[in-house]
Amino acid sequence: MSQYAGLAGAGQTSAVCDLRSDTLTRPDAGMMQAIQAAELGDDVYGEDPQVNRLESVLAERLGKEAALFLPTGTMSNLAGLLAHCQRGEEIILGADYHVCAYEAAGASVLGGISLCPVPVRADGALDPVVIAGAVKEDDSHLAVSRLLSLENTHNGLAVPLADMAAAANAGRNAGLAVHLDGARFFNAAIALGCAEADLAGLADSVSICLSKGLGAPAGSVLAGPQDLIAKARRWRKMLGGGMRQAGVLAAAGLYALDHNVARLAEDHARAGELAGVLHSLEAGEVSQATNMVFFTPGDGRNDELRRHLAAEGVVIGGGSSGAIRMVLHKGVGDDALDRAVQGLISFYG
């Protein structure tokens, strides 16, 4: 079942605690002031100072030559994949990584690029042996293996640097370039306790989302070598992502980088607290990593639980069966988390 099952239309204006996704974060007062004060220009002409600064700041933080601001994470990944690969070439990636499972096969539909999914290990990593085995030999009957696409975090799991490096090395040894879908890149870096550039340095290109736990209203950034980013910029235009006075969004992203990265650790701690409560209730299977909790009710009463929590002002996603993903974010403070905890206790007590 899709991880997005049950998400659309579940929100309510009276919700005290919304655990469906960290995409639900909204600009706070400081971010709104930064948006309002943004000096603007036409970004398609390269004249928006906020966009230029955002691209420069993230390129430097990640140790990359250049960066490109795009409207969405899906477009950021897609522009990167299209810049790496030609028609008839192939991307090796995790079968349930977001690029493969939840981005509508855009690389195949729009770029004529084949997706070669391989199994994802329980820890979120790809096995180097599996990667090497998926690379095609030089045969005119086969697609040309060109790119390895990794993901961190994966379902909240922060994949260790050693595992990332082993996967990346397996790809490079076979002649592949490496892309990293880092939608929650900063969650991973904080959980791993590593430098941002160390994580980004394992891949040739990195896509980072600003509109999840960081609280910006929209926007992602693709970072990588200068020549690759130049190609991605052309693809951004063709994909309809060339925005004009985009500094209103870039200013939000800059504010998020300055104020909302370190606080992601608070979301991780609250996720751990929520998981602890669910474990204590002994009501089903529970797992937690970074800011995500996955709960599978043992009695299968997913819909009943959802209705009960909604009446308490708590919104959760998930389908009528299986695991329910609960995501902690800057919109869920201690009081909101306590409302969720009390709702769970009253349901299972």
| The pLDDT value given to residue 319 | 85
List CB contacts of 256: < 8 A, sequence separation 6 or more.
31, 210, 214, 215, 216
Say whether pLDDT at 193 is over 60: yes
Beta bridge partners of 17: 314
Residue 268 · residue 213 · CB < 8 Å: no
- Segment 143-154 shows an average pLDDT of 98
Say whether pLDDT at 15 is over 60: yes
Say whether pLDDT at 1 is over 50: no
| The pLDDT value given to residue 4 | 55
- Closest C-alpha among 323, 344, 332 to residue 155: 323
The structural domains of the chain, with segments of one domain joined by +, span: 17-26+263-348, 38-259
Q: Identify the DSSP state of 79.
A: H
Domain 17-26+263-348 shares a fold with domain 38-259: no
**Which tens digit of pLDDT belongs to each residue from 119-138?**
999 999 999 999 999 999 99
17-26+263-348: what CATH class?
A: alpha beta
Tokens of 232: 């991605």
Say whether pLDDT at 12 is over 60: no
Q: Tell me how crowded residue 323 is: count the other CB atoms within 10 A of its CB.
A: 20
Q: Where are the alpha helices (DSSP H) in the chain?
A: 29-36, 49-62, 73-84, 98-101, 106-111, 128-134, 161-173, 185-192, 196-200, 226-238, 247-259, 264-281, 302-311, 334-348
Residue pointed to by tokens 């994470």: 73
CATH topology of domain 38-259: Aspartate Aminotransferase; domain 2 (3.40.640)
292-297 and 324-327 as β-strands: parallel, antiparallel, unpaired?
Answer: antiparallel
Tokens of 127: 């096995």
| The pLDDT value given to residue 36 | 97
List CB contacts of 12: < 8 A, sequence separation 6 or more.
310, 315
**Which tens digit of pLDDT belongs to each residue from 64-111?**
999 999 999 999 999 999 999 999 999 999 999 999 999 999 999 999
Q: Identify the DSSP state of 23.
A: G
Instruction: State the pTM of this model.
Output: 0.94
